[in-house]
Copies of this chain bind each other. A is one copy, B any other.
Amino acid sequence: MTSAAEDTKPFTLGPGIRRAMPADETPIYKAIFDSVMNQRLTPGTKLPENELCEAFGASRSLVRRVLQKLAHDHIVELRPNRGAIVATPSPEETRQIFEARRALEAALVKLAARNATADDYARLRQQLHDEHEAMHRFDQPSWARLASAFHLKVAALAKNPILETYLQEIVSRCSLIVAVYQPWGNASCEHDEHASIANCMESGEVGRAIELMEQHLLELESHISFNRDNDKLSLKDKLGLK
């Protein structure tokens, strides 16, 4: 219901396509990515190359490139000679990821407040409006996407593609963590916090904006909990209750 990402059509990308595709725009990448985010693929799941090949009708070269990229984005883990599995972020990793995110976003807010134009703020408000609307429609998937989009928009306003790319990576990893360890959805009404941050940025209260952003991210992190079916699974195996 959430998305019709069940691409089992005879997608080949076979002979005839020569242009080197950016590999993270491949349908294969997107399908795996979405499946992980929607928890159809849970952490630890093995991803054998051959199965992916015939599932997508692609050759191993492509599948392999896609897995490489997914590994670089920390969506899957690539163990030498042992294949790929869906990444399993540990609590310690999670802590580090959020710490890095706080540091990055603080720096980005500072730069964004320095570099953003009136037009930029107008677009940011549009973004906030869409977010607000999705929330009121109870459109959870769209909302989650838009909530992340706000942070990415702010990052774009900083006009530093390098830091922006880093934040994209980190936000992607955060999304994975939230999807896996907080499956009921990120429930807090983030909208007001986002709006406050934008307000402070536009009115020049940079220090306050940074403070709010850090607070907002701490809030998000505090809602993560690791008591999950992941444990249930390994427990089940360990006790042989099957």
Contacts and interface: CB of A to CB of B under 8 A. Distances in A.
Contacts of A107: 103-104, 106-107
Contacts of A170: 162
A78 to B, nearest CB: 8
A75 to B, nearest CB: 15
A68 B61 CA distance: 14
Interface string A129-164: 000000000000000000000000000000011110
How many identical subunits does the complex contain? 2
Given A106-B107, A111-B103, A97 B19 contact: no
Nearest to A19: B80
Contacts of A18: 81
Contacts of A97: 162
A72 interface: yes
A191 to B, nearest CB: 27
A13 interface: no
Main secondary structure on A side of the interface with B: helix
A80 B19 CA distance: 7
Interface residues of A, number: 24
B166 A80 contact: no
Interface string A9-32: 000000000111000000000000
Contact of A100 (B68, B110, B162): B162
A193 interface: no
A96 B115 CA distance: 13
A97 B104 CA distance: 14
Contact of A161 (B81, B96, B161): B96
11 contacts: A19-B81, A72-B72, A96-B160, A96-B161, A96-B162, A99-B111, A99-B163, A100-B166, A103-B110, A107-B107, A162-B170
